[in-house]
């Protein structure tokens, strides 16, 4: 791991929590689900990270990162790439810090996410078919304009921000948690949970869950090789075909397990969340439920927290996905 890519400390995560809660209501809810508990034969609670102004967990990271900018960086503005949820977080954080944000997104990006970014004051540039192409375009744009490029994943400050959700659960909301299942795209969320768990010396296990159709981080976690993989999942919030050094290092050190599920399982889990708890989720947010269903024998009898990381889906998408 590069010298500058150092995981955040528990002290920084606590500091981030104090800063973030000045901008948004924290903690987000931890909701016990009798329906999912009965279905999975476990004590299941949902960490509802969709209960934020951007309807996704990543706003925590955007707020904290922008709060740490010096005056020169605020004058230059921020540039990043995203399928939507990270972009919203940077636009929201930039607005709170009084700076600008330009977000590069794929040409078929979720229109609701584009609208939300613009509502928060961000400017959207549509480039390429996949977010991996947007990373390159955003970095080049930032270099040309003298703006600050926000690396979407290899960024300790972002991990410190999103890790505050883990602090809320493991220290206060449900300290006797046995297992946490976290959706994973690039890996900031899951690496934040592992960092907090280890820093608190908490006995819980942490599993990551990813789509079988975009398994780059899963495969790298198992092999140690940072190689690209196909990225064909419909779960745009966890859609990436590349691997990032910082979260991979954290996860390979102490993530307990990494579950792959296919997109049909993810959509079935999205429906299950609605049927049994009336929680709306985007597919990326439901991947933890899909993993729990696949591994139901292993989680039986445990006190389980499933992170629902976001709910940014269009009405037409939901009408289609909620059909049996």
> What is the tens place of the pLDDT at every residue in 274-309?
999 999 999 999 999 999 999 999 999 999 999 999
pLDDT of amino acid 277? 98
pLDDT, tens digit, 9 for 90 and up, residues 197-253 = 999 999 999 999 999 999 999 999 999 999 999 999 999 999 989 999 999 999 999
Instruction: Catalogue all structural domains in the chain, each as residue range(s) with its CATH number.
Output: 10-57+157-321 (3.40.50.1100), 59-155 (3.40.50.1100)
Q: What pTM, to 2 d.p., does this model score?
A: 0.96
Question: Could you tell me if 32 and 182 are in contact, meaning their C-beta atoms sit under 8 angstroms apart?
Answer: no
Partners of residue 251 on adjacent β-strands: none
**Distance linking the first and last C-alpha atoms of the chain:** 45
Question: Could you tell me if 103 and 90 are in contact, meaning their C-beta atoms sit under 8 angstroms apart?
Answer: yes
Burial label for 107, CB within 10 Å (0-12, 13-18, 19+), is exposed
pLDDT of amino acid 305? 99
Regions in the chain scoring below 50 on pLDDT: 3
What is the residue-wise DSSP string for 302-322? SEEEEEE-B----HHHHHHHT
């Amino acid at each position: 791991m590069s010298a500058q890519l150092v995981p955040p400390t528990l002290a920084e995560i606590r500091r981030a929590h104090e800063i973030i809660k000045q901008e948004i209501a924290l903690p987000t809810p931890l909701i016990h689900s009798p329906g999912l508990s009965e279905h999975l034969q476990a004590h299941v609670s949902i960490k509802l990270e969709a209960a934020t102004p951007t309807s996704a967990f990543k706003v925590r990271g955007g707020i904290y990162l922008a709060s740490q900018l010096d005056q020169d960086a605020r004058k230059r503005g921020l540039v990043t790439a995203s399928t939507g949820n990270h972009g919203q977080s940077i636009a929201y954080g930039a607005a709170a810090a009084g700076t600008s944000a330009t977000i590069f997104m794929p040409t078929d990006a979720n229109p609701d996410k584009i609208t939300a970014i613009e509502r928060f004051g961000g400017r959207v540039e549509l480039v390429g078919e996949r977010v991996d192409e947007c990373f390159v375009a955003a970095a080049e744009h930032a270099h040309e304009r003298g703006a600050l490029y926000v690396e979407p994943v290899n960024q300790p400050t972002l991990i410190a921000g999103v890790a505050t959700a883990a602090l809320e659960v493991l220290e206060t909301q449900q300290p006797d948690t046995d297992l946490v299942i976290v959706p994973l795209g690039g890996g900031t969320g899951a690496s934040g949970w592992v960092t907090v768990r280890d820093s608190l010396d908490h006995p819980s296990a942490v599993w990551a869950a990813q789509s079988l159709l975009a398994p780059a981080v899963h495969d790298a976690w198992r092999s140690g090789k940072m190689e690209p993989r196909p990225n064909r999942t419909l779960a745009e919030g966890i859609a990436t075909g590349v691997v990032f050094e910082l979260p991979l290092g954290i996860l390979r050190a102490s993530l307990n397990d990494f579950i792959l599920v296919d997109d049909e399982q993810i959509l079935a889990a999205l429906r299950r969340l609605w049927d049994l708890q009336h929680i709306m989720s985007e597919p990326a947010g439901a991947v933890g439920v899909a993993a729990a269903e696949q591994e139901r024998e292993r989680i039986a009898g445990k006190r389980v927290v499933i992170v629902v990381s976001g709910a940014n889906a269009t009405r037409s998408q939901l009408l289609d996905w909620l059909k049996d």
